[in-house]
Structure 1
Amino acid sequence: MKSIKSKIYAIFLGLLIVSCSGYLDEENLGNTTAENFYSTKDGYEGLVNATYATLRDVYEPTPYIFCAGTDLFFAAHPEVPLGLASYQTLTPGEANVERLFRSLYQSIQIANLALHYADKVEDFPELQSRIAEVKAIRAYYYFMLVQQFGDVSIVENLVNQPITHFERDSASNVYQFIIDQMTEAIVDLPPTQSNFGRVTKRAAQHILAKVYLTRGYETYGEGVADFTKAATLADEAINGQGLNLAFGDLFKYKNDKNEEILWSVQYNKSNSGEVSHNWDYPWGPLVQGANDGVIKKNTLHPTEYLFTLFDDNDTRFEGTFLNIKTNPYTGYLLNPTTTPVQYYYPRTAAQIADVPNWRAEDPVNRTNTIISPMDPHWWDGLNQTDYPALKKFDRVQTAVPSVQYTHDIYLARLGETYLIAAEAYLKSNNPGNAIARVNTVRQRAGVSVVGNVDIDFILDERARELAGEGFRWLDLKRTGKLIDYTKVRNPDIKGLFDGGTNPFLGIDGQLKILRPIPLAVISLDNGEYPQNPGY
């Protein structure tokens, strides 16, 4: 997508909103004013593309706020913020929480700028679609905010002068705003786009299905009515498409633009120094100073629950985890026939029994391989080097010239759409359809179909399908399972509970389920901006 050259300044709660680095750089194009430039097709297209670029800013950091403190991964390194990993020390000063809050509102402001010029720009064939795309992205950002923070301020118009106080809108009103905006967007969004990565009707239906599903659990939600709408929207997003790809192909090297991706944050091969994300970094095992330029650390370590969750023939395990370790690390991608295998990680009895045949298939690269079958050392947080790495976001960086491949981040993909439908059908008292949607996902994975599901099974299925993709904390919060699951499956949190401490219990006797409102927001507001319970 094209970039747009400009710099935007505005104030939200006293926080300076600046341009997205690498995308919005100050440049005066022949003394053209913003009013004139954004009223042209090219100017407006650039502004829409700048809105898309904000997705990269939101998702750029190491994904601790999305993946830490769940039942799938625990903190195995002091780099992981302790408050996000085990909640007890989570405070309004947590930098990762403030960054998310800040980047979401900065991104909303850029979307507001695009919508501000929507009725000032010259007409062109794609205009209504572009407006709908921006509305959908902004609604998605508000969905992120309301799930993380609860009551938040709805800033619907362009802020072009300092504002010293904002009121927090109720979560109920925020959800209604999201639903209204996404519903409007769906009307004007096309079923397909010429540029992969633009929001389509099906992508918006997927997100809106998740919005209704999430609101249905809330006391202010509409219960069965919300779940029914979620199920209908999810099926509309599915649109009769089956899960035709092998699971391992979904995250395959250079296969980011596959048929099952409804919407993603785009990262193309680019020169070193261009924008990228850090989602490949925390999954270990330790890879540092390798000659392929890859750095991975054991910071977010898979739990015993996650490692042992897969049936023997579930292809999602090998599609999620790298069951070998090569040197260099990315040799398994770039030079699989000539790169020695240091470790092999068989997990089933059949795989262990077949090790001699496995070696014989490639004696040059496998004769000296260390065989490391599944046992408790896999989920020992002190184990820095010898366990299967989560590979979904593996990047490639060669030495000279330094060219980097950064994997796209999937925001909506078809496998999850089926599981959204399954959960929505279950909650709307239609277990037959719930079972059918789950079994579609399981059949692609090569495991047996089931005849009964409950919410725990669906969450197990979501763990198998979506591990590491940034949804688990939201899943557990949505379904009310955050404390119940983590206190028995996450060793950090379990240790606190076993010692008699509930790390979720806040200073006011309330539970820390929502994230804290950042201290900078409260201190810079000239009025009263209330803190969330527990902080």
Structure 2
Amino acid sequence: MKKILYTAAILTLMLNTGCSDYLEEENPSSATAENYYVTPGGYETLVNSAYSTLRDVYGPTPYIFSAGTDLFFGAHQDAPLALTTYQSLTPGTPQVGDFFQTLYESIQVQNTALHYADLTEEFPELESRKGETRFLRAYYYFLLVQSFGDVTLVTDMINEPITHFERTPASEVYEFIIDELEMALEEVPVTQNEYGRVEKRAVMHMLAKAYLTRAYEDFGQPSDFSQAASYADQAINGQSLDIPFSELFGRDNEMNEEVLFAVQYDEASLINGGAHNWDNPWGPLIQGAFEGVSKKNMLHPTEYLFTAFGEHDTRFEGTFLNVRTSPYVGNYLDPENTPVEIYYPRTEEQIANVEEWRAANPETRSETTVIPIDGSWWASTSQQYPALQKFDRIQNGDVRFTHDLYIARLGESYLIAAEAYFQEGNITQAAERINEVRRRAAMEGHVEEILITEAEVDLDLILDERARELAGEGHRWFTLKRTGRLIERTILYNPQITSESQFMGNNGALKILRPIPLSAISLDEGEYPQNPAYAN
């Protein structure tokens, strides 16, 4: 069985609320850390707990990662307006506070693991375990600095209350992230014996992304884009994209060779809960035990996303489920024998050949309602449109499955390289990396029609390509923020965001960064500055 990292008992490193409390450790068990964590078995359990924090960060509905972009708009009262439209985004927005708190709690677990790494008995995997937790800590700080700008940099295990923190300049936080990842690269092996542990290529991917992101900042270094391209190519390691896109997110294909790092789930670890909520918000409304899933129309795909895929691009069908079976999970469990209620053709060829499609399986398709692509798909009140299927999970009585969340995969490594090469002026290499992604996406017999030329390469094309390749995977807000296109592209494509005024905050500042949560500021006994757009 895969995913052994998360089946161990989770250690009691639970933290209370409050800025200083984010970084306080409690140990209500009778075993002392000094005795337990200094043994190889105890330390391994601590590292397993460090991995489990990924589920805490990624478990909630992914509004923080995907709302308020050019790909998805809020279409349900449960979708927080603060994150879908920005106007009501304040230091009291709960999703922002939860994200901030969870990241710092998770960082303290990594700090604890790194603290005891210097105290525990030597064992063969110790060096790797240090690198694995160092990678996780750097990644959490990467999420923090992109979201909040200057943040408190805490690198030591804290076991007593601290009443005041200073915000570390973002430039220093990026330097720390890159230094930590460089150290992790030396510590982790090329391959691990246990699936799911951090390996060198995952570190290279994240180094590429960190360098790429810093390059856009005013404190970016002249070599950042070239460093990003180099590390992205090292993460690629000459590997081509050979898995059909339609299989990349298959229920039985999560451990595929293109996944460099993921948040893992398995049936054994879900018996008592612990599943993520990334399958639920993309809609349409599907409920009831019979269906085997639960979906709501909360983050609705925009017209831009539905129409971004070309006539010969298979990534639409790999991203969206273009049939609605009865029950929904019948498409996964018994597709050949499950009735198809609705078919959603979107290419000219698909629309012209509906009867041929019916004839391919008349027993399940003869009564199917056909809803070709049109404005009804992206109407905010629509409940009949293709469901985003990448992270569908099954909740049948006899089948329980939660899809892994891919944090780093090879397709994005190619697009990171393309963006970095483009920004340093190497258009030939940028086009080659994009075409490797598009070559895999092409329908059979249409490869040449889908490839791009060097003259077509610009930042908008790269952003369009990332939309087609990575829709729903939690990168979009960070991508638009990194490239400085968040406002421009949401106004252009998101029907809920119509002007720059929706981003306007206090002091003439725009709401590009997230606000420092009110709880962190109010519980700090010193002066903990707020980001300008939210300061009084």
Fold match (TM-score > 0.5): yes
The 3-state SS of whatever aligns with 2:173 is helix
Q: Contact 2:22/2:104 (CA < 8 Å) preserved in 1?
A: no
The 3-state SS of whatever aligns with 2:506 is coil
Q: Contact 2:24/2:161 (CA < 8 Å) preserved in 1?
A: no
Aligned to 2:441: 445
The runs of at least 4 aligned residues of structure 1 exceeding 6 Å deviation read none
Aligned to 1:298: 297
**How far, CA to CA, are the matches of 2:79 and 2:361 in structure 1?**
39
2:430 to 429, 434, 459: 434
Unpaired runs of at least 5, structure 2 = none
Aligned to 2:204: 205
Q: Contact 1:4/1:47 (CA < 8 Å) preserved in 2?
A: no
**How far, CA to CA, are the matches of 2:20 and 2:416 in structure 1?**
38
Deviations 1:484-529 (A, max 9, x none): 00011000002xx2xxx71001121100000000000000000011
C-alpha displacement of 1:25: 9.3
**How far, CA to CA, are the matches of 2:244 and 2:193 in structure 1?**
25
| Cα distance change, pair 87–427 in 1 and its aligned pair in 2 (3 A) | same
Q: Contact 1:435/1:451 (CA < 8 Å) preserved in 2?
A: yes
Aligned to 1:58: 57
TM-score, length of structure 1 as denominator length: 0.95
User: What amino acid does structure 2 have at the position aligned with 1:13?
Assistant: C
**How far, CA to CA, are the matches of 2:22 and 2:463 in structure 1?**
40
**How far, CA to CA, are the matches of 1:472 and 1:7 in structure 2?**
33
Q: Contact 1:6/1:26 (CA < 8 Å) preserved in 2?
A: no
The 3-state SS of whatever aligns with 1:503 is helix
**How far, CA to CA, are the matches of 2:327 and 2:504 in structure 1?**
45
C-alpha displacement of 1:4: 4.6
Aligned to 2:227: 229
Aligned to 2:213: 214
1:406 to 402, 408, 411: 402
Aligned to 1:458: 462
Aligned to 2:71: 72
User: What amino acid does structure 1 have at the position aligned with 2:395?
Assistant: Q
Aligned to 2:238: 240
Percent of aligned positions that are identical: 57
**How far, CA to CA, are the matches of 1:324 and 1:357 in structure 2?**
15
User: What amino acid does structure 2 have at the position aligned with 1:266?
Assistant: Q
**How far, CA to CA, are the matches of 2:141 and 2:56 in structure 1?**
15
The 3-state SS of whatever aligns with 2:124 is coil
User: What amino acid does structure 1 have at the position aligned with 2:417?
Assistant: A
**How far, CA to CA, are the matches of 1:236 and 1:84 in structure 2?**
35
| Cα distance change, pair 337–122 in 1 and its aligned pair in 2 (3 A) | same
C-alpha displacement of 1:189: 1.2
C-alpha displacement of 1:197: 1.2
C-alpha displacement of 1:5: 5.7
**How far, CA to CA, are the matches of 1:276 and 1:407 in structure 2?**
9
Q: Which residues of 2 match residues 158-169 of structure 1 at below 5 A? A: 158-169=157-168
Q: Contact 1:92/1:519 (CA < 8 Å) preserved in 2?
A: yes
Aligned to 1:3: 8
**464-473 or 439-448, which deviates more:** 439-448
The 3-state SS of whatever aligns with 2:178 is helix
Supply the RMSD in Å over aligned alpha carbons. 1.5
C-alpha displacement of 1:27: 4.2
Q: Contact 1:290/1:329 (CA < 8 Å) preserved in 2?
A: no
Aligned to 1:374: 373
Q: Contact 1:290/1:328 (CA < 8 Å) preserved in 2?
A: no
Aligned to 2:471: 467
Aligned to 2:105: 106
Deviations 1:276-326 (A, max 9, x none): 100000011110114143110011000000011111110000000000001
Q: Contact 2:82/2:93 (CA < 8 Å) preserved in 1?
A: yes
Aligned to 1:390: 388
**How far, CA to CA, are the matches of 1:322 and 1:161 in structure 2?**
51
Aligned to 2:489: 485
The 3-state SS of whatever aligns with 2:462 is helix
The 3-state SS of whatever aligns with 1:492 is coil
**How far, CA to CA, are the matches of 1:273 and 1:534 in structure 2?**
41
The 3-state SS of whatever aligns with 1:262 is strand
C-alpha displacement of 1:34: 1.4
Q: Which residues of 2 match residues 16-415 of structure 1 at below 5 A? A: 27-28=29-30, 32-223=31-222, 225-270=223-268, 271-384=270-383, 386-399=384-397, 401=398, 403-415=399-411
**How far, CA to CA, are the matches of 2:391 and 2:24 in structure 1?**
28
User: What amino acid does structure 2 have at the position aligned with 1:395?
Assistant: R
Q: Contact 1:73/1:303 (CA < 8 Å) preserved in 2?
A: yes
Deviations 1:202-226 (A, max 9, x none): 0000001000000000001114x10
**264-273 or 313-322, which deviates more:** 264-273
1:13 aligns to 2:12 (yes or no): no
C-alpha displacement of 1:16: 5.2
**How far, CA to CA, are the matches of 2:459 and 2:22 in structure 1?**
43
Unpaired runs of at least 5, structure 1 = none
C-alpha displacement of 1:182: 0.4
**How far, CA to CA, are the matches of 2:289 and 2:309 in structure 1?**
31
Q: Contact 1:261/1:412 (CA < 8 Å) preserved in 2?
A: yes
Aligned residues: 519
**How far, CA to CA, are the matches of 2:524 and 2:292 in structure 1?**
44
**313-322 or 444-453, which deviates more:** 444-453
**How far, CA to CA, are the matches of 1:172 and 1:404 in structure 2?**
44
The 3-state SS of whatever aligns with 1:508 is helix
| Cα distance change, pair 16–137 in 1 and its aligned pair in 2 (3 A) | closer
C-alpha displacement of 1:26: 5.5
| Cα distance change, pair 9–62 in 1 and its aligned pair in 2 (3 A) | closer
**315-324 or 188-197, which deviates more:** 188-197
C-alpha displacement of 1:273: 2.8
**How far, CA to CA, are the matches of 1:142 and 1:346 in structure 2?**
43
**How far, CA to CA, are the matches of 1:129 and 1:380 in structure 2?**
50
